[in-house]
Amino acid sequence: MTGNLNSLRKLPLFQGLTFAELNALKEHLTLRHAPAGSTLFTEGEAARSCFVIVEGEIDVVTHVERRGDEKLATLGPGALVGHMALVDHRPRSATCRVGVRPARLIELQRAEFEHLLNTNSPFAFKILERVALDLVGRLREATARLGRKARSRGDRHQRALDAAAALLGQGDSSVSTDEIDPDSIEVYIPSLEERMSGRRKP
C-alpha cells in the first residue's frame, strides 16, 4: 500500500504509531475499493483477512433460521471488520456488505498479520486489543441475556406458585417452592355430567 501516511494516522487504529512504524506497516496493507452493495465476505466462509474502513459504511448481517437475514450493525470509517475470525481461525460469523455508497478499505491478510505479530508490531497488538474488547463486550451481552432469561423464568415460577396457592385455597406463605414444581401442576376441570352427578373423576 502506498500513499500519505498522515491519512493513516487519522484512523483510530493507527493513532499512536510513529512514522517509521507506519512506513514499515504500509508494506503489509492493501487498499481496496468496494462498490456499493457488494459483499465483502459471507457468513460461514474461511477467514483470510480483516479490514479497516477508510470511507463508506459496512452492514454486518447474519442469517436467522425462519426469519432470513438480520442486520446486526452498521460500521463506519475507522472500524475494524472481520478481525475475530482472523485471530481464532474459525469461519466468518456474519456476512459483511458495503452500504449504499462505495467504500474504501485497508485489507490485512492473515499471513501478514501473523508476520506482524511475530515481529512484535504495535499494530498487531492493537488488533489483539480490539479483539479482547470485542470478546468482553460479547461476554457482557451474553451475561445480560442469561440474567434476563433467569428473571423471566423466576417470574413464571412465581406465577405458577401463586396459581397453585389460589387453586388450593391457601395463602402464599403456605406454598413452598421446594414442595411444588410448576411444570408438574395439572388443573382438573370436571365434565358437566360429573358436576351434575356430584362425582369427581378419580
Along the 202 residues of the chain, how does pLDDT read in single tens digits? 656 677 788 888 888 888 888 888 888 899 999 999 999 999 999 988 999 999 999 999 998 888 888 888 899 998 889 888 777 888 998 999 999 999 999 999 989 988 988 988 888 888 888 878 877 876 787 788 777 777 777 676 677 666 666 655 555 444 454 555 555 555 555 555 565 565 544 5
Residue 23 · residue 8 · CB < 8 Å: no
pTM of the complete model: 0.65
- Copy the grid coordinates of residue 184: 408438574
Domain annotation for the chain: domains and CATH numbers: 5-142 (2.60.120.10)
Give the Cα separation of 48 and 13 in Å (integer): 20
CA-CA distances (angstroms) from residue 86 to 51, 112, 146, 155? Answer: 10, 11, 28, 42
Interatomic CA distance for residues 94 and 132, integer angstroms: 18
